[in-house]
Structure 1
Amino acid sequence: MKPSLQLKISQHLALTPQLQQSIRLLQLSTLELNTEIERILLENPMLEREDGEEGGAEAVASVEQAEATRHEEREERDFAEIRESSGNGEDADFEPAVSVDPPETIDAAYEAASDDDLGEAAEWRSEAGSRNGGDDDESDFQEFQAAATSLRDHLDAQVALMALSDRDRALVRFLIEALDDDGFLDTPLEELLELIPPELEVEVDDLQIALRYVQHFDPVGVGARSLQECLTLQLRNCPECSARSLALQIVDGQLELLAARDFVKLKRRLGCNDDGLRAAQDMISRLNPRPGAQFTHVEPRYIVPDVIVRKTRGRWGASLNPEAMPKLRIHRVYADILQQNRGSASALSGQLQEARWLIKNVQQRFDTILRVSQAIVERQHQFFDHGEVAMRPLTLREIADELELHESTVSRVTTQKYMASPRGVFELKYFFGSHVSTDTGGACSATAIRALIRQMVAGEDGRKPLSDATIAEMLGQQGIVVARRTIAKYRESLNIPPVSQRKSI
């Protein structure tokens, strides 16, 4: 066949740049949205924040000028008072002598002073403190407070206080550098010895001695090579008592039985009674299995809620958080320039259109979040009144059908978006979940079942904890049919140990 050209008409879905930006902004979290907006503000001069910053420089300058004028007036008034007190007028020589008035004169002057005079004096002292570097001292203190001490710095400070030879001091610091974040020495001494140059003639015994020094440092238990050695070091640092001796025996060879809570076999092997075993268990439970973790600096993760839930006139409602909404506007100066020079600034015309798209898409994003949040609040109002046990089963499809949105849009809205309520801050995804059928033909939310399991375990008898089968039977008596495997899955998601590990003496 000969090649030929054909004209064909078809329909296909095309995403415009405006629609692509709207979808991208919808799936961003609040922090990511602010980062994206900051990037666009740097690239697009037609966009600015509406934070009332217009005329801010002039206002600051006028305030500073007024403060300077007031300060000069106070100084002139103070010098005038000094000249008058000298008794010779303005031409008198200033005597640098210090005179102390009688107490009754001072009290009388204090009582005669007006509130304005005292306020001005306090303000003058405040200004003098700021001129003397008070703000710098405060900022330095804040920076000092923000600086976190690491485990290695804490141990190095203790090494500096010890009377050691240069060789031993170097070996101790070498072992300190080999510790992990929990304070454990995971690498065997033989492997560490291979890292030391042979010409230094260091042996394993030298590292053993250096390790003993490290194990006597604070926090107690640092430098241990295993959990058993860590607990043993801490127990040896405790006062001598019968519980300490029994705890050392448990840690030395019966730690697995204690973890399995096989108290019957423990009492038979150790030859102790319930009270002695309970005291030893309490002592072991108070030990720190990760002595170096307290020096680990964890960056806090801050959450800015997008929606705030309040109860007004007996009804729960959602409203947008004004602190999370960026206030944007078109830059008036550049917009006026563009209007006066139409057709000569094509680049600015495109940036003006992009700025309008961004403002519209940001507003549409928060409107969609508010609609979805309000629909969730109306469906889950029992949760805000009674807690997790009253959570209703809810799916993304139900909200999408109610608001006439696509299910993927609801999924984007509920991801990394948070709701602040009197019961806490929750991600919007939290209110969705699977359900379990009941005897009456209804459905119970998985979140409510987890809350019931947590309540049952919290109220159980420690000597006879509830098994998964027993919990399933108790839920069945309430009309909630749940299999034992489902109970086990929910229990593990709540970080509740199995029945064998919940048993107490």
Structure 2
Amino acid sequence: MYLHTEQRQQQGLSPRLQQAVRLLQLSSLDFAHEVQAAVDSNPFLDTVDDEAPDEAAAAAPDMPLPEATHADALEAPAVTMADEGGDAQDSWQTAGPSDTPRSDDLDASPMNRVAAETSLSEYLLRQLHVLPIPPRDMLLAEAIVESLDDDGYLRMDDLSELIPVIELDPAVTVPELQIALKRVQSLEPAGVGARSVVECLLLQLDGIEDARERELVRLLVSEKLESLAHKDAATLAKQLGRPVDEVAAACARIRRLDPRPGWRFGSADIRYITPDVIVKKVRNNWTVSLNPAIVPKVRLHRVYAEMFQRHQQAQHPELASQLREARWTLRNVEQRFATILGVAQAIVKRQHHFFDYGPLAMKPMGLKEIAEEVGVHESTVSRVTNNKYMATPSGVFELKYFFSRAMTATSGTAFSGTAIRGLIKDMIENEKPDNPLSDAEITRQLAQQGFVVARRTVTKYRHLLKVEPVERRRNGT
């Protein structure tokens, strides 16, 4: 063992640069929360008050949001932030998080009075755990519950698919799983565990006390469910040889049944998206502008900064540090949104055919192309496009949506994966309901049009489009 010294040079990120990189890849909502936290902890940062426009204008005059056509993608965005000298342009205008009432008493929060939601699986498992059944049967029933979709359906062609998942000794058999399924189907809400709409409605018929009405409803659900959509009770009564009033009452009873019993529990995980940039067509040119609703309204607190400048900074090192941090925060906000705008402008410039003609006109595009045009590193483009969204006349798209590798057609021309997804979507939307297209058939039709892709690629794109496989589309499930 011995000691020796060695000198070497290596690249590294300073803590402040690491923080800037982390903030750059945050979504707009998360970034707004970070900025608000900085405002709450730093006395030199202040938010712009919308209710006092004259005062705000005196301290920091309104600056127009940058807007440019894709022809101006290389120009610097027209945004202004506070500089080191602390001039009159210390405010960065946007709609951001507003001040909210605070309370030191956590129990006083209204959110603490909101009832916790119970998921469907939790509700079913609570019922199972009070039943006097052996541990093996309990485990099988729990496996059935965990396999249900959010609407309460068991979308599984064969129960044997669960056998490899449930590792028991001796091995699980299909009859055991059928018994477990029947046990789950006996739970509330009625209709849960069904494998089709007909089965779901039939499981709810025990709640009909009148035996004659129950049997008529059973007959209608089993044999005439499609005819119920026409709401023609007279025709149904004639076909069944039953009085019209009885058939009409049975139809009304069926409409009161719940075809999606699982939706009563919990709530869907709805994620609302606020676009970062907005694309519009102005005088035949596509223009890109920042969304004013996503940039925090923050500025340097002029009064505190001037008071601090009149005293010796050496006596207050912690305040000097906070002032530097405040100015860095403002520059970081400026740099973030200037970069987002520049990347969005470069995307629109290269993909303007997409905005004119749709996904089929999407060009292959990589991060390197945009990085070279904007003058940043590829990793910066990757971070900027993460969780950032663009509002267009055709909808809201994540910035990553516009990037795809180049694929070559038989004619030698390049096309993008997005264009292929658009073709697959059109094929599926126009397929015959009684004869849907399989992935192999879609692959064959694409090849006939000159687009040679593997079948597994078609399967992957179909999953991205959230389209069921051909068997389920054929069965209408």
Offset at 1:286?
A: 11
Match for residue 318 of structure 1 among 285, 288, 292 = 288
SS state at 2:280 partner: strand
Bigger mean CA deviation after superposition, 486-495 or 387-396: 486-495
Q: One-letter code of the match for 1:466?
A: L
Match for residue 381 of structure 1 among 346, 352, 360 = 352
Q: Could you say which residue in structure 1 is the equivalent of 2:276?
A: 306
Offset at 1:504?
A: 6.0
1:405-455 Cα distance to aligned partner (Å, 9 max, x none)? 211111100001111111111111111123431012122221221221121
Q: Distance in 2 between matches of 1:148 and 1:188?
A: 23
Q: Could you say which residue in structure 1 is the equivalent of 2:403?
A: 432
Q: Distance in 2 between matches of 1:463 and 1:55?
A: 63
Bigger mean CA deviation after superposition, 460-469 or 423-432: 460-469
Offset at 1:188?
A: 7.4
Contact 2:28 2:294 in 1 (8 A): yes
Q: One-letter code of the match for 2:309?
A: Q
Offset at 1:294?
A: 2.6
- Kindly indicate whether residue 450 of structure 2 is the aligned counterpart of residue 454 of structure 1: no
Contact 1:181 1:292 in 2 (8 A): no
Contact 2:202 2:218 in 1 (8 A): no
Match for residue 436 of structure 2 among 462, 465, 469 = 465
Contact 1:307 1:373 in 2 (8 A): yes
Shift of the 149–233 alpha-carbon distance from structure 1 to 2, 3 Å rule, reads farther
Q: Distance in 1 between matches of 2:293 and 2:462?
A: 38
Q: Could you say which residue in structure 2 is the equivalent of 1:257?
A: none
Offset at 1:230?
A: 4.7
Contact 1:414 1:429 in 2 (8 A): yes
Match for residue 495 of structure 1 among 456, 461, 466 = 466
SS state at 1:502 partner: helix
Contact 1:34 1:326 in 2 (8 A): yes
Q: Distance in 2 between matches of 1:423 and 1:365?
A: 26
Q: Distance in 2 between matches of 1:405 and 1:430?
A: 20
TM-score, structure 2 as length reference? 0.60
Offset at 1:367?
A: 0.5
Q: One-letter code of the match for 2:46?
A: E
- 1:105-144 alignment runs, 5 A limit: none
Contact 2:279 2:390 in 1 (8 A): yes
Point out which structure has higher relative CO (alpha carbons under 8 A, 6+ apart).
2
Contact 1:394 1:434 in 2 (8 A): yes
SS state at 1:419 partner: strand
Contact 2:127 2:187 in 1 (8 A): no
Match for residue 204 of structure 2 among 213, 234, 239 = 234
Shift of the 334–296 alpha-carbon distance from structure 1 to 2, 3 Å rule, reads same
Q: Could you say which residue in structure 2 is the equivalent of 1:297?
A: 267
Q: One-letter code of the match for 1:189?
A: L
Match for residue 33 of structure 1 among 28, 31, 34 = 31
1:440-480 Cα distance to aligned partner (Å, 9 max, x none)? 21222212212211211221222332232322222122221
Offset at 1:249?
A: 9.1
- 1:130-279 alignment runs, 5 A limit: 180-181=122-123, 185-187=127-129, 189-191=131-133, 221=190, 230-235=200-205, 244-245=218-219, 248=222
Offset at 1:290?
A: 4.2
1:140-189 Cα distance to aligned partner (Å, 9 max, x none)? xxx9xx9789689xxxxxxxxxxxxxxxxxxxxxxxxx974479955573
Q: Could you say which residue in structure 2 is the equivalent of 1:255?
A: none
Q: One-letter code of the match for 1:47?
A: L
Which protein is bigger by CA-based radius of gyration?
A: 1
- Kindly indicate whether residue 373 of structure 2 is the aligned counterpart of residue 402 of structure 1: yes
1:266-287 Cα distance to aligned partner (Å, 9 max, x none)? xxxxxxxxxxxxxxxxx99997
What's the Cα RMSD here?
A: 4.2
1:365-420 Cα distance to aligned partner (Å, 9 max, x none)? 10000111111111221222222222222221221222232111111000011111
Offset at 1:54?
A: 6.2
Contact 1:182 1:292 in 2 (8 A): no
Shift of the 495–55 alpha-carbon distance from structure 1 to 2, 3 Å rule, reads closer
Q: One-letter code of the match for 1:20?
A: Q
Offset at 1:297?
A: 2.8
Q: One-letter code of the match for 2:459?
A: A
Offset at 1:350?
A: 1.4
Higher helix share: 1
Shift of the 475–5 alpha-carbon distance from structure 1 to 2, 3 Å rule, reads closer
Contact 2:367 2:403 in 1 (8 A): yes
Contact 1:46 1:334 in 2 (8 A): yes
Q: One-letter code of the match for 1:318?
A: V
Runs of 5+ unmatched residues, structure 1: 58-142, 153-177, 194-211, 252-282
Q: Distance in 1 between matches of 2:202 and 2:318?
A: 73
Q: Distance in 2 between matches of 1:312 and 1:471?
A: 38
Offset at 1:51?
A: 2.9
Offset at 1:35?
A: 1.1
Shift of the 4–190 alpha-carbon distance from structure 1 to 2, 3 Å rule, reads closer
Shift of the 412–3 alpha-carbon distance from structure 1 to 2, 3 Å rule, reads closer
SS state at 1:425 partner: strand
SS state at 1:310 partner: strand
Q: One-letter code of the match for 1:51?
A: D
- Kindly indicate whether residue 452 of structure 2 is the aligned counterpart of residue 481 of structure 1: yes
Q: One-letter code of the match for 1:417?
A: K
Contact 2:201 2:259 in 1 (8 A): yes
Q: Could you say which residue in structure 2 is the equivalent of 1:50?
A: 48
Q: One-letter code of the match for 1:245?
A: L
Contact 1:380 1:391 in 2 (8 A): yes
Q: Distance in 2 between matches of 1:294 and 1:443?
A: 49
Contact 1:149 1:295 in 2 (8 A): no
Offset at 1:248?
A: 4.8
SS state at 1:309 partner: strand
Contact 2:340 2:384 in 1 (8 A): yes
- Kindly indicate whether residue 25 of structure 2 is the aligned counterpart of residue 22 of structure 1: no
Q: Distance in 2 between matches of 1:186 and 1:423?
A: 48
Q: Distance in 1 between matches of 2:271 and 2:473?
A: 32
SS state at 1:397 partner: helix
Offset at 1:241?
A: 7.6
Q: One-letter code of the match for 1:31?
A: L
Q: Distance in 2 between matches of 1:369 and 1:493?
A: 26
Q: Could you say which residue in structure 2 is the equivalent of 1:75?
A: none
